């Protein structure tokens, strides 16, 4: 009877026992998915409002005088704003990174423009990487399909060189290369280093294009302003991005990518031959 009484007493006074204690169940999946939901909502807002259309050379031409004045008066702040816009564009997977890199070359010169683009792209990609790594893990990989599965297999074999290759040669979408290493356990330092190094050649190439494009932009601006003054509704810049992707430029990217794959090929060859890797 004493034992029964003690049990009843503990049941009536939960602070003295654990029989009726029902601690609130934690839902860690809510915390993991909250950043993903936030990114998706912001992305939807950007596209719904049409803000992604501002990432264009036409926007630069329309506001060139004001932008140049801001860059001249507060260059450091202008560079910081450019990096912030680049981070947002990459983190939200908004098309226009190439245009932004060209604009950076036009506004800040090829060196500062390229460095600012590298910083912005690396930070934006790392944000996507961290969110994906903490959110759904293998679920993302399964839903991304066989293309992501192939990327994951390569990452597991040699994460740094495989990621470096994918950054040097833009075979796969930038956003997919951000997600795949996140769900297969690639280290943050490996991701950041390979991303920063891998985008250097392409970024400098497009920044150099932008630096040398100023005269072309000036001619287009004059024609555009004349069209606007005439009241025509179909005023557009006659500028094609495909003209920048020359066979020589693509061949250079491919050659750099093959160089990045050399350690992977050597590693596989030695594994098949049973040769121990040095170190």
Whole-number Å distance between alpha carbons of 223 and 143: 48
Query: How confident is the model at residue 17, as a pLDDT?
Result: 44
Would you give the DSSP letter of residue 87?
H
pLDDT digit string, tens, across residues 198-207: 898 888 888 8
Query: How confident is the model at residue 240, as a pLDDT?
Result: 58
Query: How confident is the model at residue 255, as a pLDDT?
Result: 62
Average pLDDT, the chain: 75
Query: How confident is the model at residue 191, as a pLDDT?
Result: 93
Whole-number Å distance between alpha carbons of 46 and 85: 13
Q: Can you list the residues of the chain whose pLDDT is less than 50?
A: 1-2, 4, 7-9, 11-24, 26, 275-279
Query: How confident is the model at residue 113, as a pLDDT?
Result: 94
Structure tokens at 123: 């930070």
Q: Where are the beta strands (DSSP E) in the chain?
A: none
Name the residue among 96, 150, 104 with its Cα closest to residue 124.
Answer: 96
Whole-number Å distance between alpha carbons of 187 and 171: 22
Query: How confident is the model at residue 48, as a pLDDT?
Result: 87
Query: How confident is the model at residue 7, as a pLDDT?
Result: 47
- Domain map of the chain by residue range? 31-213+240-273
């Amino acid at each position: 009877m004493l034992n029964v009484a003690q049990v009843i007493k503990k049941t009536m006074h939960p602070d003295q026992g654990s029989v009726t204690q029902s601690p609130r169940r934690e839902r860690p999946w809510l915390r993991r998915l909250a950043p993903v939901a936030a990114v998706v909502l912001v992305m939807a807002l950007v596209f719904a409002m049409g803000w992604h259309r501002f990432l264009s050379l036409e926007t630069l031409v329309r506001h060139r005088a004001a932008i140049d004045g801001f860059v001249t008066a507060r260059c450091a702040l202008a560079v910081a704003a450019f990096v912030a816009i680049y981070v947002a564009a990459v983190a939200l997977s908004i098309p226009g990174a190439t245009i932004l890199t060209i604009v950076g070359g036009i506004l800040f010169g090829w060196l500062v423009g390229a460095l600012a683009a590298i910083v912005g792209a690396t930070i934006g990609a790392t944000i996507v990487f961290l969110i994906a790594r903490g959110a759904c893990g293998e679920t993302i990989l399964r839903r991304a399909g066989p293309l992501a599965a192939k990327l994951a297999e390569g990452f597991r074999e040699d994460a740094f060189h495989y990621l470096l290759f994918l950054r040097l040669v833009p075979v796969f979408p930038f956003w997919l290369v951000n997600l795949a290493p996140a769900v297969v356990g690639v280290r943050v330092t490996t991701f950041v280093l390979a991303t920063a190094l891998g985008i250097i050649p392409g970024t400098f190439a497009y920044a150099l294009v932008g630096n040398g494009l100023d005269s072309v932009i000036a001619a287009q601006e004059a024609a555009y302003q004349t069209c606007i003054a005439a009241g025509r509704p179909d005023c557009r810049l006659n500028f094609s991005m495909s003209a920048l992707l020359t066979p020589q430029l693509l061949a250079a990217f491919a050659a750099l990518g093959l160089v990045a794959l050399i350690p992977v090929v050597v590693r596989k060859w030695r594994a098949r031959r049973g040769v121990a890797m040095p170190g």
